[in-house]
Amino acid sequence: MFNQTFSADTQFRKASAEYNFGFLDEYAKKEVRRSVLKAIAIPGYQVPYSSREMPMGRGFGTGGLQLTLSLIGKKDTLKVIDQGSDDSVNAVNLRSFIEMTCPGIDTTTKVSEATLIQSRHRIPERELREDQILVLQVPYPDALVVVEPSEDKRKIMHGEADYSRLLVKLYEDIVKFNEITISHRYPTRINGHYVIDPSPIPRWDVPKLNNSKSLILLGAGREKKIYAVPPYTLAEPLEFDDIPFRVESFNDSTGKRRTCWRCGCDHSFLDEFIDAQTGDKRYQCSDSDYCDEQIKSQVNNQELEG
């Protein structure tokens, strides 16, 4: 392998011949697969696994990546998103790595075409189907870490479904700020037992975990954990009777729902940014595929009407 000469353009992204399909060796894949089955059988429980080093930084989605690489086959169509977008640098980088190490697979930016979706920080707006699998990248897998630093003790608390300290923490928030201040990574109880960190998805996406048609797998590479929300499974954000769980509000000061400047959508999670020219605030769908889809259907409707 040392005598090969590559042109300067291609030398970084041509290693597939030297590596196994899916980069990981088959033993590593088997371990991930065994952990996935356990994770499904014990919904919300963080199954420890040995987590191999991937050729990209811990924290860049190596947990999700190991899941994807252990699951993917030549018949799969893969979509990779980061912040809702297929085109963000990290999504491009992960997708290009998977394409390189899994020759023969298809990739797509359309949710509807994908069999396997790896995502960081978002769940697609369009409801997923039973034949699709969502893999979420997880930086911090344990919702209890804010109240208990020792993993040993946290494992006991999880086993006993003892979340009293977490609830106290939420309550203290309410006393202090009159509001639950957790913005993302909202603690969510799965099947009435384990409370999970659902990865840094916004609260907007938390209801999508509940009774989902698709299997949702979560992988934390650095913390070496795999967990799952099986399909048709109860997923409830922690809340109090008088202070309910609330998703992000996109209403303006008059109470009117803001819309996407691009597609006009009034029911999606919006990114806020400042227009460089006018200095005005603008809002745009965070899920770029969904935004494109809305525009397309509007064009189609206009054509029909026209």
Partner 1 sequence: MGYVAIKGGGQAISGAEKLLEFIRTRQGETGEPLDIETIENQLYFLHSRIMSEGGLFHPKLASLAIKQSMGDTLEASFALRAYRSTKPRLIESPILDTSNMRVTRRISASFKDIPGGQMLGASTDYALRLMRTELLDESPDAFKSIAGKWLDENRYDEIPDTFPKVLDALRDEGLLPPVNEAISEQKPFDITREPLVFPVPRSAALSTMARSETGSILALAYSNMRGYGDIHPTVAELRVGYLPVMLPHPITGELIEAGEVLMTECEVVAMYEDEENGDKPSFSLGYGACFGHNEVKAISMSILDRALQSGMKNGPTNPSEDPEFVLLHIDGIDSMGFCTHYKMPHYVTFQSDMDRLRTTQEKHTNKHEEASQKGADNV
Partner 2 sequence: MLKQDLLGAHIKAIWLAETQQALFNSLMQVMSRPGRLDNWEQWLENSPAYLAVLATLLDGEVSLNDVHGLLTESDWPMLQAKKSEVELANYLLCDASKMVHIQPSLGTLSSPDFSATLILKVAQLSVKQGSMNLKLTGPGINGEAQVAVSGMEQAWLENRNGWCSAFPLGIDCILVDDTQIMALPRTTRVEILEAVHNGENN
The footprint of partner 2 on residues 26-85 (CB under 8 A) is 26-27, 29-31, 33-38, 40-43, 45, 47-48, 71-75
CA distance 119 to 116: 10
| Residue 114 or 291 having the CB closest to partner 2 | 114
Residue 177 interacting with partner 2 (CB under 8 A): no
CA distance 199 to 216: 12
Q: Which does 286 bind (CB under 5 to 8 A by kind): partner 1, partner 2, none?
A: partner 1
Residue 2 interacting with partner 2 (CB under 8 A): no
Applying CB under 8 A, the span of 43-51, 188-196, 228-236, 258-266 interacting with partner 1 comes to: 43-51
Q: Which does 38 bind (CB under 5 to 8 A by kind): partner 2, partner 1, none?
A: partner 2
Residue 148 interacting with partner 2 (CB under 8 A): no
Answer left, alpha or beta for residue 281, where phi above 0 means left and psi between -120 and 50 means alpha. beta
Q: Which of 55, 103, 159, 264 binds partner 2 (CB under 8 A)?
A: 159
* Longest Cα separation, the chain: 69
CA distance 101 to 28: 15
Bridge partners (DSSP) of residue 186 are none
State how far the alpha carbon of 245 is from the alpha carbons of 60, 131, 161, 186, 194, in Å.
Answer: 29, 30, 20, 9, 18
Min. distance of Cβ 129 from partner 1 in angstroms?
19
Q: Note whether 166 and 146 are within 8 A (CB).
A: yes
Helix (H, G, I), strand (E, B) or coil at 229: strand
Q: Which of 164, 183, 297, 301 binds partner 1 (CB under 8 A)?
A: 183
List of residues contacting partner 2 (CB under 8 A) = 20-21, 26-27, 29-31, 33-38, 40-43, 45, 47-48, 71-75, 130, 152, 155-156, 158-160, 191, 193-194, 215, 228, 230-234
